[in-house]
């Protein structure tokens, strides 16, 4: 890398100053060298991506297209089985609930994260005393390791000794079996996930608010617009591009949430809080008799869904950038 | 930007400001209640753990939990530190030159590479973990700390390249041209001009790659479940998994595992906010 870069340099500047028809081949060679230098700088990354992104994904695809057992997983001679694993997964009674839970988990989480995040962003945009400090403290849930948040919430939501049920008792509500009752397990992990996701929404939406010119609000308040009218007519419409980005990114990130659910409920009781992510892991690593093929198939379905929203995100973002330019 | 700041401050008068501060404090307290509760439980004596009503303040604090951390968890913490630092090093080595190339050297296929990196960030960790499992099994990398560094770096490398690209695009071309006129090659220019002025990007990428490696659970649980050197996330998970009822030890470990996040927030808050927004919003 070093050598290529050093050799190439002086010639480039020599050539760029020269002109005339005889320097054409020289100039072409200089361009080629510049290209080689650029390549030398990205080559390690490309090799890395090939080995540690493309190859694992290929292995995963291969897993989902073969009939693996534990023995053939080690020996590596599993027979090709085409779409069998996908068919098996789609016919599995767990597929419907897992898909439904994934959607409910994702959309409910995002709706609450976004609304609460936006309300807080508008609130913190008021520039009162301590606002920057408090806003920084709001980042904490997002920075904590997921296992820390998940185990803290597990204990808070404990049916017998959890502090949440204690507060509910104050309000005259009987104890709720948050993590142990099939009716509440999904709600519990959604609550914890909303808590974790609020800071992300707050930070991005707050930075979006910084780009709305203050004069607009001044003019509106001179015209007698109420705070709510200002929000509805100015803040919300002007924040729409940032909102779209926040929601789509949130979607992609929330679809793949695994740790939180796995640590809090393992997808249970039964399958009542299992999503595609936890089900995939359950199949591959959750039992003594791993089903790598179906597990990988579920994983690949999850990638497909994430990519749909991911590509939508890329389209929206590049569209916005073009508009600005 | 300054003008509209002044503008919005105008209609939050002195009195209003105090009211907002009070509401802000209340909201922050509500939001951080789980963090407080973690601290409180970590100091609660075992016999009071299932008391009704629970003690809302640690009136009889005990350090049993933290003693358990010292006894059981120190090796895990050391491993996490090692893996975190290793991930930072690997991420910087890969991402900084690539970011420079994408920002300034216009390599062939640079656009496609950028797109690939964006998509790469959307791939669920469990899918990567499953793919890695087979590869590591073949290569004998299962249950090794450096295998885990490689796996953990996949979370941070695409993000790192994007941060470096965005930051280095903003470096004035004259600075690089001046270095060339002084006779420095592309690599020298990168090393002694571009990298030093990109300090902020280096800090942001290092912070996030450390934090993500430190917090990783999926890769650790899949690829290092039976190793000699296991990270702290598995230390906590083992505590919970053993149906351990000593919640003060579990929460004390959680508190200790949160220390890097807290340090980060105090020392490097602006880098954190920059990192959160960098990937999402372009200005």
- What stretches of chain B show up as alpha helix (H) in DSSP? 2-10, 14-31, 33-42, 64-68, 74-100, 110-120, 125-139, 145-169, 173-181, 186-189, 195-197, 199-215, 218-223, 232-241, 247-257, 259-267, 269-278
Q: Does B247 touch chain A (CB under 8 A)?
A: yes
**A5 and B186: CB-CB below 8 Å?**
yes
d(CA A5, CA A27): 17
A54 near A63, Cβ under 8 Å? no
Complex confidence, ipTM: 0.85
SS3 B133: helix
| Per-position DSSP letters for A39-90, written without gaps between them | HHHHHHHHHHHIIIIIHHHHHHHHHHTB---HHHHHHT-PPB-TTHHHHHHH
**A303 and B18: CB-CB below 8 Å?**
no
A39 near A5, Cβ under 8 Å? no
A5 near B185, Cβ under 8 Å? yes
Task: Find the residue in A nearest to B147 (Cα).
Answer: A52
Residues of chain A with C-beta less than 8 angstroms from the C-beta of B5 = 127, 214
d(CA A241, CA A167): 39
Q: Helix A2-17 and helix A24-49: axis angle, to 10°?
A: 150
Query: With a CB-CB cutoff of 8 Å, which residues 94-153 of chain A face chain B?
Result: 120, 123-131, 134, 136-149, 151-153
Q: Which of B12, B105, B240 sits opposite A38 (nearest CB)?
A: B105
Q: Which residues pair with A80 in a beta bridge?
A: A66
Residues of chain B with C-beta less than 8 angstroms from the C-beta of A63 = 130-131, 134
**A56 and B98: CB-CB below 8 Å?**
no
pLDDT in tens, A198-248: 999 998 999 889 888 888 888 998 988 888 899 998 899 999 888 988 898
Query: With a CB-CB cutoff of 8 Å, which residues 38-67 of chain A face chain B?
Result: 38-39, 41-42, 44-46, 48-49, 52-53, 55-60, 63
pLDDT-derived band at B258, boundaries 50, 70, 90: very high
pLDDT-derived band at B29, boundaries 50, 70, 90: very high
Which pair of structure tokens corresponds to residue B157? 């490398």
Which pair of structure tokens corresponds to residue B130? 């499953």
**A258 and B180: CB-CB below 8 Å?**
no
Which pair of structure tokens corresponds to residue B174? 């004259």
What confidence score (pLDDT) does residue B283 get? 36
pLDDT-above-70 percentage for chain A? 92
B12 near A127, Cβ under 8 Å? yes
d(CA B11, CA B19): 13
pLDDT in tens, B32-66: 999 999 999 889 888 887 777 777 888 888 888 88
């Amino acid at each position: 890398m070093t050598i290529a870069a050093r050799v190439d340099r002086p010639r480039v500047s020599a050539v760029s100053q020269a002109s005339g028809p005889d320097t054409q081949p020289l100039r072409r060679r200089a361009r080629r060298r510049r290209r080689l230098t650029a390549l030398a700088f990205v080559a390690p990354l490309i090799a890395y991506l090939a080995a540690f992104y493309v190859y694992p994904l290929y292995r995963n695809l291969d897993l989902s297209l073969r009939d693996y057992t534990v023995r053939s997983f080690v020996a590596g001679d599993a027979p090709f089985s085409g779409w069998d694993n996908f068919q098996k997964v789609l016919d599995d009674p767990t597929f419907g609930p897992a898909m439904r839970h994934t959607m409910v988990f994702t959309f409910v989480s995002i709706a609450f994260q976004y609304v609460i995040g936006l309300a807080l962003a508008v609130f913190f945009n008021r520039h009162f005393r301590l606002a920057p400090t408090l806003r920084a403290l709001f980042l904490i849930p997002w920075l904590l390791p997921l296992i820390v948040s998940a185990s803290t919430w597990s204990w808070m939501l404990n049916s017998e000794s959890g502090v949440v049920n204690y507060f509910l008792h104050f309000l005259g509500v009987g104890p709720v079996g948050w993590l142990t009752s099939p009716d509440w397990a999904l709600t519990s992990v959604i609550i914890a996930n909303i808590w974790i996701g609020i800071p992300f929404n707050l930070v991005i939406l707050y930075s979006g608010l910084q780009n709305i010119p203050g004069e607009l609000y001044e003019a509106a308040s001179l015209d007698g617009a109420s705070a709510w009218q200002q929000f509805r007519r100015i803040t919300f419409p002007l924040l729409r591009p940032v909102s779209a980005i926040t929601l789509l990114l949130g979607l992609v990130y929330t679809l793949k949430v695994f740790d939180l659910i796995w640590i809090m409920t393992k997808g249970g009781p039964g399958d009542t809080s299992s999503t595609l992510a936890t089900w995939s892991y359950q199949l591959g690593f959750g039992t003594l008799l791993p089903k790598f093929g179906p597990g990988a198939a579920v994983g690949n379905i999850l990638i497909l869904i994430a990519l749909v929203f991911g590509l939508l995100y890329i389209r929206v973002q590049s569209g916005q950038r073009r508009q600005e330019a | 930007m300054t003008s509209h700041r002044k503008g919005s401050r105008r209609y939050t008068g002195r009195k209003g400001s105090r009211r907002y501060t009070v509401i802000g404090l209340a909201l922050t307290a509500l939001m951080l209640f789980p963090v407080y509760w973690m601290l409180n439980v970590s100091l609660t004596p075992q016999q009071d753990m299932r008391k009704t009503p629970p003690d809302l303040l640690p009136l009889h604090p005990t350090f049993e939990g933290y003693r358990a951390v010292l006894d059981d968890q120190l090796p895990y913490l050391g491993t996490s530190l090692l893996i975190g630092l290793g991930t930072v090093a690997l991420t910087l080595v890969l991402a900084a030159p690539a970011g420079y190339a994408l920002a300034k050297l216009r390599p062939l296929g640079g656009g496609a590479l950028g797109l690939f990196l964006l998509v790469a960030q959307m791939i669920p960790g469990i899918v990567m973990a499953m793919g890695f499992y087979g590869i590591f099994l073949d290569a004998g990398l299962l249950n090794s700390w450096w295998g885990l560094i490689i796996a953990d770096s996949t979370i941070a490398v695409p993000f790192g390249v994007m941060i470096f690209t965005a930051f280095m695009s903003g470096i004035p071309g004259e600075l690089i041209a001046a270095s060339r006129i002084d006779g420095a090659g592309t690599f020298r220019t990168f090393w002694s001009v571009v990298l030093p002025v990109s300090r902020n990007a280096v800090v942001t990428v290092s912070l996030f790659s450390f934090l993500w490696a430190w917090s990783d659970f999926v890769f650790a649980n899949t690829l290092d479940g039976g190793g000699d050197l296991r990270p702290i996330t598995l230390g906590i998970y083992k505590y919970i998994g053993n149906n351990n009822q000593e919640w003060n030890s579990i929460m004390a470990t959680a508190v200790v595992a949160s220390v890097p996040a807290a340090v980060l927030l105090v020392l490097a808050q602006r880098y954190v906010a920059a990192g959160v927004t960098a990937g999402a919003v372009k200005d």
